[in-house]
Chain A
Amino acid sequence: MRVLVVEDETRLAENIAAAFREGPGYAVDCVEDGETGAALAAERCYDLIVLDLMLPKMDGASVLKRMRSGAVNTPVLILTARSETVSKINLLNAGADDYLSKPFDLGELLARAKALIRRGKGAAHPTLREGDIEVNTLEQTVTLAGQPVVLSRMEYRILEYLMHRPRAVVSKQELLEHLYDYNWEHHSNVIEVHVSNLRKRIGGQDRIETLRGRGYRLLLPGGRTA
């Protein structure tokens, strides 16, 4: 998963980014002003946007409005120092999905971020289950037919992303965009290695199909048919 943090207080943005990377293992991009934030959000390669309200050049509310009017449906978590109910109502009505008042709890920020990403992908429960594969996104553990499977960090992230989109073709670029931050192009060859390792651990070509030139697809033998 890839998160955009728009926050002008660079040290705070660093801390949030470090928490995302160390906790759920998301890729994080940080920007300091509203204009850059709005421009990056329009790329649609993020699974969540954490947006501060008081920003240079363009304030958070305007960034939100521009995103929503440009049909960018990425979940948005607002960080606000204002605690008046009216401003929260206005933000939620303007298309925000959730808000946190500063000073916030880092654990709460991570939990809300996970919930927003999950919801954004149409899953209500933190445990993703497709066929005999079960992914617990809280503990970041995977079981295959009841047996725990040990995955590396990157392998887990690839599986989690694919689990959100079973039976759909996920291009290599999409995978790269959502799993790495802005310098993902450097990882272009590495991802093939990670996918192939993951495939070995969860049951070979039957599980993850490679469609040459198009991408990868999670197959679920014995599972529900689409």
Chain B
Amino acid sequence: MKPYSIVRRLIGMVLVVELAAALCVTTAAFLYERHTHFRAFDVLLRGRADSILGAVQDAEDPGDNVMLDGSQLSAPPDDVYEVRDDSGRLVGRSENWTGLGSVEKLDRGGHRHGHGPDGEEHFGANLRGRHYGMIRISGYRVVDPGEKGGGVKRTVSIVYGAQMDRVWDAVLQSVSFYAVSSVVVMALTALLMLWLLHRGLRPLLELAGAASRVTVNAWEFEPPPTAQATRELAPLTEAMQAVLRRLREAFEEQQRFVGDAAHELKTGVALVKSSLQLLGMKPRSQTEYIAGLERALGDCERMEAMVAQMLTLARIEQAPLQGKAAVAEGISLLREVIDELAMMAELKQVRIELDEGSANTVTQQAIAIEPEQFKLFCRNVLMNAIQHSASGSEVRVQVREEESSAIFEFQDHGDGIGETELPYVFERFSRGDPSRSRHSGGTGLGLAICKAIVVRARGGIKIESKIGVGTCVSVRIPMASGVAEMLGD
């Protein structure tokens, strides 16, 4: 997946928003500027037309006509104008007057065009390839006002035009000012945000730095104060602390196991080695040699069993948790194991009783566990029970169903386990009571293997014991149907 930067994304988003704002402002500015400039342009046209009207003079001729006194005019050279009297006679025009050309209606906001209130008319014209804004006004000039009757009133019509390009230039200039300043503001914002975000994200970087210093040899993870003071980082720091704590516990547990396993193996090797060296310390009789070799062989076999159990435990613990649960016919497997152990039980004069009545309800249902592992589990628990049972007593196995789980209970009437050792019996190499583990040839791994099997099967195991009364191991294994439901199959 392509990595993306939060900083870049945030800056991009802000810039897009700013761009939209800038476009709105520029458009509004354009509309407003156009309005004001053209209004000013109209006023200017009107003023200039009025000044033309002011220049219309009595021609002092017999027909009481009017004339345009060009000497008083100061119209810009690009402007055009024409003055006619009411009879259509040309009174005067600018030198560059070429006729009105094509007359067009003005469309520039449409606030006022056409006839004004006092007879003025605005329109556009295309003169010599340029746009002109034109105004036509009517006015009158009184010829010889001193005469009797107030003189003769001469109406003149004035057409005045000025180039509109200038106005457009002015409008565009101010609009481009807005546009350019928006772009400058956006660039500055981008830089400022880059700086601010880097500054704002520093706690995250410091947190990452602190996290990267955690190794298997240095588990201490102290979130930097800046990260602790940041509310948004609190879930992350808490999650990291929790993860590290769990990892550390698991790692230390593993290390403890490796250490214990090394101790057991070294002790085993020391035992075999010392047995053989003891045999070689001095010349011995043949029977002594044979007895010594048998002892050494027994030591080897014990070590072999221990290694096998360690490997079994590792295999069970490290097998990936399967998505689809394995299925086993619990009761029939349990019967198989009981048959296997019949000889051993007979030797110890112990009876194994499977409570058939309670078994019936569960017989038909499969439990969610690997069949071989379930057999190993039953074998371990039953062998423990037989080994610690008083001779002549019985080991009772009961089965029942509870909340879509099968419950197996193994009750023996043996020597029991002391209260202080009970919490540790499931630990690997548990050696709470040496007389239990060492003398019976145990390795301290049997119950650890049992627990690992049950945990794999998403079940639970508990043990209750009373010294001199007996021990009850109770295990809960989910039914296959229940697990299938849980997994959403």
Contacts and interface: CB of A to CB of B under 8 A. Distances in A.
Contact of A107 (B267, B272, B277, B282): B277
Contacts of B431: 8, 54, 56
A68 to B, nearest CB: 24
A186 interface: no
Given A22-B281, A23-B281, A103-B269, A10 B438 contact: yes
Contact of A12 (B262, B270, B433, B435): B270
Most buried by B among A9, A11, A101: A11
A81 interface: yes
Given A9-B271, A10-B438, A103-B273, A81 B281 contact: no
B460 interface: no
Given A22-B278, A33-B434, A104 B270 contact: yes
Contacts of A82: 259, 263
B281 A19 contact: yes
Contact of B273 (A22, A33, A105): A105
B278 A15 contact: yes
Contact of A81 (B262, B273, B435, B438): B262
Given A56-B434, A82-B259, A106-B277, A15 B282 contact: no
> Chain B: interface secondary structure?
helix
A103 B263 CA distance: 10
Contacts of A16: 274
A15 B263 contact: no
Interface in A79-105: 79, 81-82, 101-105
Contact of A15 (B274, B302, B438, B439): B274
Interface in A17-73: 18-19, 22-23, 32-33, 54, 56
Interface residues of B, number: 27
B92 interface: no
B275 interface: yes
Given A9-B267, A11-B299, A56-B433, A19 B274 contact: yes
B54 interface: no
B434 A15 contact: no
B266 interface: yes
B278 A19 contact: yes
A81 B267 contact: yes
Interface in B214-273: 259-260, 262-263, 266-267, 269-273
Given A8-B431, A10-B439, A15 B275 contact: yes
A15 B271 contact: yes
Given A15-B274, A107-B277, A102 B438 contact: no
A87 to B, nearest CB: 11
Nearest to A100: B270
B371 interface: no
Nearest to A33: B434
A103 B270 contact: yes
A16 B267 CA distance: 13
Interface of B: 259-260, 262-263, 266-267, 269-275, 277-278, 281-282, 295, 299, 302, 431-435, 438-439
Given A8-B438, A33-B434, 18 more contacts: A9-B267, A11-B271, A11-B275, A11-B299, A18-B278, A22-B281, A32-B438, A56-B434, A81-B263, A82-B259, A101-B266, A102-B266, A102-B267, A103-B270, A105-B277, A106-B273, A106-B277, A107-B277
17 contacts: A9-B267, A9-B438, A10-B439, A11-B275, A11-B295, A11-B299, A12-B270, A15-B278, A16-B274, A19-B278, A23-B281, A32-B435, A33-B434, A56-B431, A56-B432, A81-B267, A103-B270
